[in-house]
């Protein structure tokens, strides 16, 4: 499937919700993954701070810095110039005051090339969201399981099971909408509360482990492809390919060939030589050594 060379706009995303058109979103952390996702027709790309887990090898997203996010967002922007790109605001950049949030979000857009930023939290960050929106910075919200608060939450637990939790999630979603967020990610939220929130909001919801009734869905690139993802198997993840095994097996065959001196083969050396020299010169170097005649 080919992708339009013009990124989606916030207006188009809201229209997709109104028209009942599902929104596809995927994480990307580098040039090749972004390029492939765009060529496949993805609607939105998220440069998630989950890069801390799947690219940098951290146990949580907390160590990820703003400079890390800018670096990876720049790579994604180069690979997917025709796709709407959202960049995560890393740990504490949206929770220590409006000025810090504005400066951090501005860097992600100006230096990183993002079209929008994503902030984790609900009512407690409404002022920061509103300030960014007033400054012309589009903001996507993120409630439910918020990985940056994993230690406070007490682990990766489904949110909204209790009536009090469900009510809080709805209030958070409404507060983010009121502050000007153009969409909200619902992570590990029970399907009934995700459906309730989706129906109450005029802006799209993007689910991850939140059931079938969100306006769109997002998955982590490495989970979708089984590409050395450090996460334990999640019930809501659907694997569409196992490239991790393919890559590991290919590298293993290369290692075996090197150990057995099967790589490089003689013909590879001949072809490399003919690319840089005349055929006669190449044959004098390689053909004469093994008794081959000039083709």
- What pTM does this model have? 0.86
Going from N- to C-terminal start, the domains of the chain cover: 10-243, 247-290
pLDDT of residue 293: 45
pLDDT of residue 147: 72
Interatomic CA distance for residues 49 and 60, integer angstroms:
9
CA atoms within 13 A on the CB side of 78: 12
Our separate counts of H helices and E strands in the chain read: 14, 8
Interatomic CA distance for residues 51 and 66, integer angstroms:
12
Which residue carries 């929008």 as its tokens?
116
| Domain 10-243 in this protein, CATH class | alpha beta
Q: Active-site residues: which are they?
A: 187
Cα R_g (the chain), whole angstroms: 24
pLDDT of residue 2: 44
Token couple for 180: 């000007």
Give residues with Cβ within 8 angstroms of 234, minimum separation 6. 209, 223
Interatomic CA distance for residues 219 and 239, integer angstroms:
10
The H or E element that residue 244 is part of is helix 243-259
CA distance readout (Å), 108 to 23, 77, 78, 155, 287:
23, 11, 14, 28, 56
Interatomic CA distance for residues 207 and 224, integer angstroms:
15
Per-residue pLDDT of the chain (295 residues; tens, 9 = 90+): 444 557 899 999 999 999 999 999 999 999 999 999 999 999 999 999 999 999 999 999 999 999 999 999 999 999 999 999 999 999 999 988 999 999 999 999 999 999 999 999 999 999 999 999 999 999 999 999 877 766 555 555 666 678 899 999 999 999 999 999 999 999 999 999 999 999 999 999 999 999 999 999 999 999 999 998 876 566 678 889 999 999 999 999 999 999 999 999 887 565 666 665 655 665 565 554 444 444 4
Rounded to the nearest angstrom, the gap between the alpha carbon of residue 193 and the centroid of all alpha carbons in its chain is 25
Residue 250: helix, strand or coil by DSSP? Answer: helix
């Amino acid at each position: 499937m080919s992708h339009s060379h013009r990124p989606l706009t916030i207006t188009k995303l809201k229209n997709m919700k109104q028209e009942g058109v599902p929104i596809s979103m995927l994480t990307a952390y580098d040039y090749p993954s972004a390029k492939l996702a765009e060529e496949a027709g993805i609607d939105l790309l998220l440069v998630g701070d989950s890069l801390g887990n799947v690219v940098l090898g951290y146990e949580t997203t907390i160590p990820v810095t703003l400079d890390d996010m800018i670096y990876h967002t720049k790579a994604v922007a180069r690979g997917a110039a025709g796709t709407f790109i959202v960049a995560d605001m890393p740990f504490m950049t949206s929770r220590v005051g409006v000025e810090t949030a504005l400066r951090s979000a501005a860097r992600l857009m100006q230096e990183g090339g993002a079209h929008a930023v994503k902030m984790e939290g609900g009512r407690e960050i409404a002022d920061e969201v509103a300030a960014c929106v007033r400054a012309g910075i589009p903001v996507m919200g993120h409630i439910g399981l918020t990985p940056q608060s994993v230690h406070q939450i007490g682990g990766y637990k489904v949110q909204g099971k209790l009536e009090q939790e469900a009510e809080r999630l709805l209030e958070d979603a409404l507060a983010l909408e009121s502050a000007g967020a153009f969409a909200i990610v619902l992570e590990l939220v029970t399907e009934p509360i995700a459906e309730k929130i989706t129906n109450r909001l005029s802006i799209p919801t993007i689910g991850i482990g939140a059931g079938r009734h969100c306006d769109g869905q997002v998955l982590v690139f490495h989970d979708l492809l089984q590409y050395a993802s450090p996460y334990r198997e999640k019930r809501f993840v659907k694997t569409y390919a196992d490239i991790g095994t393919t890559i590991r097996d290919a590298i293993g065959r290369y290692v075996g060939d090197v150990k057995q001196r099967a790589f490089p083969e003689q013909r590879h050396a001949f072809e490399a030589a003919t690319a840089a020299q005349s055929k006669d010169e190449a044959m004098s170097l390689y053909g004469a050594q093994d008794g081959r005649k000039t083709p």
